[in-house]
Structure 1
Amino acid sequence: MDKFVVRGGNPLLGTIKVSGAKNSALPCMAAAILTEDEVILENIPQVHDIETERKLLTSMGAEVELGYGRAQHRTSIQCAILSDPVAKYEIVKTMRASSLVLGPLIARTGIARVAMPGGCAIGGRPIDLHIKGLEAMGATITQDHGYLEARTDRLKGAHIVFDKITVTGTEDLLMAATLAEGETLFENCAREPEVTDLAALLIAMGAKIEGAGTGTIRVQGVAKLHGARHKINPDRIEAGTFLLAGAITGGDLNIDCCEPEHLGSLIAKLEQCGVRIDVGKDNIRVRSGGDLKASDISTEEYPGFPTDMQAQFMALATQAEGTTTVTENIFENRFMHVQELIRMGANITVSGRTATIRGKTPLQSAAVMCSDLRASASLVLAALVADGESILDRVYHMDRGYERLEEKLRGVGAQIRRMGDVFSKR
């Protein structure tokens, strides 16, 4: 099992390039189910979840080619024949995004059998909103032995108001609605850039969608979609992680090939912490502005502070003067990184959904355990400023969503290496 070995103390200097967004790529790959034609996606990140999605689509009968060489960040998908519309548990057990194939499968084939999703153990991500929406569109859904089975002759347009904001629910039902008969009106939709990215692909495929990126989306169903070529958005969470890496190490780091507009809440918070930020068209420069200052955060749906940046910001807070409170409003079990940070010397207490961090605290190297994708990133950030050499175990969580993280960080001066590099040999 792979580990990271990180020696702290080096400021990060130079330019680091952001990869495509995993959380955009996965629904866009699922959208290829909606057409018999070829869908070409560019700026695909090379991470484990993408490989899992490839296996999933291939198991259903799709032809999926992941690029190599100069085209290594491109994939072509053709679902001319979906001979087995089943998302098998043995394939999707490590990936939450498996639910994203439910809507397109039933819209295209009238039948779907999808294993209940897996992924990071950060709390419940209920699929009931997917089920409720598809039932409103005329699907019959049952649960049997850990699988959801859905059937319909053809989905019908409906008026769907989400009980709570859900990114995957919005994406899944949006895909389903593109082939439904009549008009579908969605309210209380997720506004994340990943939803907008998916909608852009669907529109390029011939879908009629209005309002993506707002709380209300209107879809006029069509009989058939066609192939398209689409470039995936930059990964705003990877970009944010590198911004925090530059800030916590007191470096001078240029984050290139990103979308600054998607990072507004994080940029504003870093400036409150005393970090110098220069925003360009597709890059952000982060520089030390002196001692870091404490600033509270509360996670919210986009455009609020992202839950996927909470753990990394907590690492930064250990190095800020004063007391920081972090309130997690999205997931109920997303403080598993706290105990590992405490092992490194952090002063953190947790009460319910709120963590209190008292800084500035010198961190020491330690052997720590990665519990989920973003928790892993927070431990890397902490290790970058810890005294001595830290060992991070179970970094396969990192490989699910960050492309070659250790290589990118090493390129800007971090002392980080991988032990037992299985991933690079796949």
Structure 2
Amino acid sequence: MPSTVSVADAIAIRSGEPLIGTVRVDGSKNAALPLIAAAAAVGRLAHLGNVPQCQDVRTMLDLLRLCGYSVARSQSNPEEVVIMPISRTEPPADLTDAGGIRASYYLVPALLAACGRARLPWPGGCPVGERGMDLHFRVYEKFGDQVLLDSLGYQVIRGKRRATDLTITLPYRSRGATVAAVLRAVIERCRLTVTQPNLSPEVAEILAFLREAGWEASADDETLVLVPLHLGGDAPLAWEVPGDKVEAVTLACAVAISRGSAQIRGVRAADVRPALEAFAWLGIPAHAGADTVTVQGQDTQLTGQPLRAIASLAPDGLDADFEPPLMALALGVPGVHLFADAINPGRHGNLVPQLARLGAVIEQLSATHCRFAGPQRLTGAAVRAGDIRTGSTLIVAALAADGTTTVSGLAQLRRGHADLPGKLRHLGADITEEAA
């Protein structure tokens, strides 16, 4: 679906007609960022398709260029990216821009392979609470690397010892640490076993990509195993970034909250299953096929059952990024609902006060847990996106609020979505740009 990416700082949203039609999601930011790093780590020409054009991905590709990689987007299709292996042997002098995104830490293994060391500023990204790097550093130290810290950032120096068979036990299912361990093993070309790994779709995508590159990669609920098999080839790799499951769930919540009917294409059923289970629990008809989520909000028969939306790192758990749009949806649904996100402990602090500006009454039980009774009536007001998911959730809530809601701070939203407002307009939402 062609669309014009907004550069305005704010949008005005007027609730009204149900959202109807068909829309396709972009490629997943959360999957694209580690896939880009994996493409850099394998040291082969890689063609990546369905690469989203959101700002965080643009920043990651710019960082690769600063590291010495040749990175090109297809002129005919900007969602196709070609990454050439690195040619430099000296670390890049300045990676200050890496402080703008959290995923910059994924670049460490590729820099270790090329330069023997990686120096990066402390990662930035959404201000959603403390998400430390200690577990990443413990992973690198298991490989014999040296980690040096200062007030500006960190440096990882590749160890002289070469591991051939390594087992790492994670104390919790960290996605970032799991990817760090996998990519560090890739440049070492060693066998790796990770116990209690993160098993999110994003990690599964990395393993599938590495199988294409000649690795044996498998995972079950407790163990991830990576084994180098046929790594001698240098043929170009080709891979498609999966559709954005978070954008799909956000759009599904928007359709449901408007009592509309729509098809959301380009997302895998398994990736959105936990969110659609929440829809079914509430009585909102939604199902997923191989490539499409269908929401039939006009046929909603609310059950009155309270929703417990608890973000989890467990296999098949509720992705933390599903929790905010589900909160907006549940505000209009009968029951006393409980929401929790201990993975991003500052997110509720961004979101709940903004929802309160729309009239939502939400009891914050702690920094990470809140509850509220529905249904609630919302009224349009001026609100601001403090992070990506707060921005997209406020747009969903605005579709159910009386009158006009103005959402500002769109630079945060564009970090994760190339043009979410444009997709909603395509479904009939009344959304206009406002002056900064």
Q: TM-score range by the shorter chain?
A: over 0.9
Matched, 1:321 2:334: yes
Matched, 1:395 2:410: yes
Does 28-37 or 352-361 show the bigger shift?
28-37
Alpha-carbon distance, 1:333 to partner: 1.3
Q: Distance in 2 between matches of 1:134 and 1:260?
A: 35
SS of match in other structure, 2:173: coil
Q: Distance in 2 between matches of 1:67 and 1:6?
A: 34
User: 1:278-321 CA deviation, whole Å, 9 max, x = no partner?
Assistant: 33221111112335444221111141111111111111111111
Q: Distance in 2 between matches of 1:290 and 1:206?
A: 48
TM-score, normalised with respect to structure 2: 0.91
SS of match in other structure, 2:120: strand
Instruction: Provide closer, same or farther for how the CA distance between residues 4 and 58 of structure 1 changes in structure 2, counting only shifts above 3 A.
Output: same
Alpha-carbon distance, 1:19 to partner: 1.2
Matched, 1:232 2:245: no
SS of match in other structure, 2:168: strand
Preserved CA contact (<8 Å) 1:154 1:181 = no
Alpha-carbon distance, 1:7 to partner: 0.9
Matched, 1:290 2:300: yes
Preserved CA contact (<8 Å) 2:264 2:293 = yes
Alpha-carbon distance, 1:386 to partner: 1.1
User: 1:216-259 CA deviation, whole Å, 9 max, x = no partner?
Assistant: 11223477674411011111111111111111111001111110
Preserved CA contact (<8 Å) 1:33 1:108 = no
Look up the match of 1:375. Answer: 390
Look up the match of 1:114. Answer: 120
Preserved CA contact (<8 Å) 1:107 1:154 = no
Structure 2: which 5+ residue stretches go unaligned?
Answer: 1-7
Alignment match of 2:82 (pick from 56, 68, 76): 76
Matched, 1:208 2:216: yes
Query: What letter is aligned with 1:151?
Result: I
Alignment match of 1:178 (pick from 170, 186, 205): 186
Instruction: Provide closer, same or farther for how the CA distance between residues 101 and 155 of structure 1 changes in structure 2, counting only shifts above 3 A.
Output: farther
Instruction: Provide closer, same or farther for how the CA distance between residues 411 and 87 of structure 1 changes in structure 2, counting only shifts above 3 A.
Output: farther
Alignment match of 2:73 (pick from 66, 77, 102): 66
Preserved CA contact (<8 Å) 1:6 1:389 = yes
Percent of pairs with identical residues: 27
Q: Distance in 1 between matches of 2:90 and 2:380?
A: 49
Preserved CA contact (<8 Å) 1:9 1:386 = no
Alpha-carbon distance, 1:62 to partner: 0.8
Look up the match of 1:17. Answer: 24
Alpha-carbon distance, 1:101 to partner: 0.8
Preserved CA contact (<8 Å) 1:343 1:368 = yes
When the two structures are aligned, how many residues end up with a matched partner? Answer: 419
Query: What letter is aligned with 1:395?
Result: L
Q: Distance in 2 between matches of 1:145 and 1:201?
A: 35
Preserved CA contact (<8 Å) 1:191 1:215 = no
Matched, 1:344 2:358: yes
Matches within 5 A, 1:91-240: 91-152=97-158, 153=160, 155-156=162-163, 157-180=165-188, 182-211=190-219, 214-221=221-228, 226=234, 227-240=236-249
User: 1:97-152 CA deviation, whole Å, 9 max, x = no partner?
Assistant: 01111123224432211221110011122111111011111111111342221222
Preserved CA contact (<8 Å) 1:154 1:180 = no
TM-score, normalised with respect to structure 1: 0.93
Query: What letter is aligned with 1:42?
Result: G
Alignment match of 1:332 (pick from 333, 341, 345): 345
Look up the match of 1:242. Answer: 251
Query: What letter is aligned with 1:189?
Result: P
Alignment match of 2:311 (pick from 294, 299, 302): 299
Alpha-carbon distance, 1:154 to partner: 5.5
Q: Distance in 1 between matches of 2:118 and 2:64?
A: 13
Look up the match of 1:29. Answer: 36
SS of match in other structure, 2:342: coil
Structure 1: which 5+ residue stretches go unaligned?
Answer: 422-426
Instruction: Provide closer, same or farther for how the CA distance between residues 146 and 344 of structure 1 changes in structure 2, counting only shifts above 3 A.
Output: same
Instruction: Provide closer, same or farther for how the CA distance between residues 129 and 154 of structure 1 changes in structure 2, counting only shifts above 3 A.
Output: same
Preserved CA contact (<8 Å) 1:177 1:221 = no
User: 1:67-120 CA deviation, whole Å, 9 max, x = no partner?
Assistant: 333x22110011231355349453122211011111232244322112211100
Matched, 1:54 2:67: no
Q: Distance in 2 between matches of 1:273 and 1:86?
A: 52
Q: Distance in 2 between matches of 1:409 and 1:155?
A: 51
SS of match in other structure, 1:278: strand
Look up the match of 2:4. Answer: none
